[in-house]
Structure 1
Amino acid sequence: MGTRAETMEFLADQLGALPNIRYRKMFGEYGLYCDEKVVAFICDDELFVKPTDAGRAYIGEPDEAPAYPGSKLYFRVSGDRWEDREWLTGLIDATAAVLPTPTPKATAKRKAPTKRKA
Structure 2
Amino acid sequence: MTQPYPQYPPYGWPNYGPPPDNNMVWAILSTVLCCMPLGIVSIVKASQVNTLWFQGYHAEAHRAADEARKWAMWSAISCGILIALYVVFVVVMFLAVGASFWGLAR
Provide the TM-score with structure 1 as the length reference: 0.26
Higher helix share: 2
Higher strand share: 1
Provide the TM-score with structure 2 as the length reference: 0.27
